[in-house]
Amino acid sequence: MASATRKASFLPFLLLFVTINPSNSATDTFVFGGCSQLKFISGSPYEYNVNSILTSLVNSAMFTSYNNFTIRASGSASQDTVYGLFQCRGDLSNGDCARCVAKAVSQLGTLCLDSTGGGLQLEGCFVKYDNTTFLGVEDKTVVVRRCGPLVSTSSDALARRDAVLAYLGATDGTYNPFRIGGSGDVQGVAQCVGDLSPSECQDCLSEAIGRLKTDCAAAKWGDMYLAKCYARYTEGRDRSHGGNDTNNNDDEIEKTLAILIGLIAVVALIIIFLSFLSKLCEKGGKDFPNALTLQVVNKQTIPSLHTANLGLSAALFLFL
């Protein structure tokens, strides 16, 4: 049984977004995750139901790109009911979908340990469970919004961006939860969760695309994740990794390289010093043959300091 009788609200406590070209990124790249603040009691029927529903999601992902489950174990109380779903990106194979969902469930188990509800979005799939029913409920809450650096408002890329977003937002009346399109080097993708009706899906995608166009203005790339759908676009492959400016990533790489070069220089100086010290000791050993070699009672010789220094130098070299 859950540790509180009131229903848990889904409150994202960890947001981390990696902005990568949707068609080329790894399917298990972490996008965002969130957990309910309420906890269930270890060993309770609710924990058993959570484990059961997550297992069902993983097994089902081997055969379909979307499914949802409701688990009510016989004899358990109503508050022990668990609802869950998974949604894979529309262009993934069954094998890639299953691997992505398995990865998401594994991370979700660590991220939301003992939480009554949680959700995790990877690049290729979305997984969510809760003790409050959310299946078939439209939710246009903004979860993640990221925009790239601005481009000129007169740029042809901006016109192509608008054309791609218009294409993603268009509908012919049929149910089309996954949409992908491009114009020149501008690419876009949009998708809604499979539990929404056709009209709800269109409404959610229209909201995400509208917000993306407004909030990101003339940005070179943009990502808008709502609770039940998302829309993304990018110009070429120019996307940042964790910042609103692509230069941020370059600065971090330069800092890392500077640190590595500094460490290499320090270790090189140590090796030179040890080599000089070993030569000095070797020279001193000619005048004092017993100074650097010790004898034990059984007449076995302990390696000289020169040998030990060479070993240490080799170890430091291997460390590099």
Per residue in 187-243, pLDDT (tens digit) is: 999 999 999 999 999 999 999 999 999 999 888 899 999 999 999 999 876 554 333
Full DSSP string of 200-256: HHHHHHHHHHHHHHHHSTTBSEEEEEESSEEEEEEETT---SSSSSHHHHHHHHHHH
DSSP helix/strand/coil, 16? coil
Q: Give pLDDT, residue 288.
A: 39
Q: What is the pLDDT of residues 103-116, one digit of tens each?
A: 999 999 999 999 99
Please check whether residue 214 is in contact with residue 12, taking contact to mean a CB–CB distance below 8 angstroms: no
What's the CA gap between 235 and 230, in Å, rounded?
Answer: 17
What's the CA gap between 221 and 147, in Å, rounded?
Answer: 6
In the predicted model, is pLDDT for residue 289 greater than 80?
Answer: no
Question: 3-state SS of the chain: helix, strand, coil percent to 5?
Answer: 40, 20, 40
What average pLDDT does the chain have? 75
Question: 243: Cβ–Cβ under 8 A, 6 or more apart, which residues?
Answer: 249
Residue of 221, 224, 199, 195 whose CA lies nearest to 209: 224
